[in-house]
Amino acid sequence: MTVNLAVVGLGAFGQKHLDALANIPDAKIQYVAHSRQNIADEVAEKYGAKAGFDSYTELLKQPDLDGVLLATPTQMHHAQTIEGLRAGKHVMVEIPMGDNLAGVQEIVDVQRETGKIAMAGHTRRFNPSHQYVHNLITAGEFNIQQMDVQTYFFRRTNMNAMGNPRSWTDHLLWHHAAHTVDLFAYQTGEKIVKANAIQGPKHPELGIAMDMSIQLKTESGKICTLSLSFNNDGPLGTFFRYIGDTNTYIARYDDLFTGKEEQIDVSNVAVSMNGIELQDREFVSAIVEGREPNSSVAQVLPCYVVLDELQQQLEY
């Protein structure tokens, strides 16, 4: 079975999904869509897509389209996911799938109504480094006591990962913290029962906090400390330290080390070392097999419940 897909939003992450899909045998890049038709046409030609669209609604009318991958600005995720599901298409939406809890809950409800596959781009579940740790936990060989996580960028102006100006503003809580909040719950297999947050001053032009600190605790007492910054002029990215009952592991993207900085070979954990590709493979496999995917919108809903609680703390 070949799954005909469209990538919507052709910025930095849209390009990553297109490159990933090109490596998946069961996936076909059937269409692409972007707010500017000339860009859609250029990318369609580059990746061998049938056509490019500047209208999401027109794209969804195509009868030979099975699903869409949404890599559009955050504020569009909620409405586009629901429109896609109601049009009878499977949807994978990049993180965050909404910027408020009510919108995320509506996505989960519409997925249940339509029966279509809906998956959120919580890529950390798929990175080989984190899969390695997850496999140890599942085998009963490792239990997390604490996670210490740093998410650091140098982004004092509104630029994307390709160095181009953004038309929307990224958010430390609803985007970047979401990765770790979900991963902490996924890796511990427990509900987060306590969450605290503080933030630094808001940027005078962007209107968002540029620094943030978050604490989490599960029902059995496992804890997570997360530091986030857009002000960090140093190594960029997210760095995870898993402190457990049998070992300590440090994950830097797809590389994994022991607490003593001894590198662990994770090349055989999955069929690829690319977390985005593994995420996309799960989406395609779930469509082919007619099953709920890992990182389904229902599975990641608890993450957004915690984010909502943290936002209320920060505002009030």
b/e code 136-162 from CB counts within 10 Å (16+ = b): bbeeeebebeebbbbbbbebeebebee
CA–CA gap between residue 174 and residue 96 (Å, rounded): 6
Does 115 map to a domain? Answer: yes
The domain of 157 spans 127-269
pLDDT of the residue at 153: 85
150-208 tens-digit pLDDT: 999 876 665 555 566 655 456 789 989 999 999 999 999 999 999 999 999 988 877 78
The pairing of beta strand 237-244 with beta strand 51-53: unpaired
- Which among 90, 36, 42 has a CA at the least distance from the CA of 65? 90
Does 312 map to a domain? Answer: no
pLDDT of the residue at 223: 98
Interval 206-213 mean pLDDT: 86
Least confident among 58-67, 135-144, 149-158, 234-243: 149-158
Q: How many domains does the chain have?
A: 2
Interval 141-158 mean pLDDT: 87
pTM for this prediction: 0.93
Are residues 107 and 168 both part of a single domain? no
Are residues 261 and 134 both part of a single domain? yes
**Given pLDDT bands bounded at 50, 70 and 90, which one contains residue 292?**
very high
Output the CA torsion 255→189→184→277 (10° steps).
Answer: 50
Torsional sign, CA 201, 174, 251, 249: positive
Does 249 map to a domain? Answer: yes
CATH number at residue 104: 3.40.50.720
Are residues 132 and 263 both part of a single domain? yes
Are residues 51 and 111 both part of a single domain? yes
Does 86 map to a domain? Answer: yes
Q: Could you tell me which residue, 230 or 77, shows the higher pLDDT?
A: 77
CA–CA gap between residue 31 and residue 54 (Å, rounded): 11
Are residues 144 and 263 both part of a single domain? yes
The SS3 assignment for 291 reads coil
Are residues 44 and 164 both part of a single domain? no
**Given pLDDT bands bounded at 50, 70 and 90, which one contains residue 21?**
very high
- pLDDT > 90: percent of the chain: 85
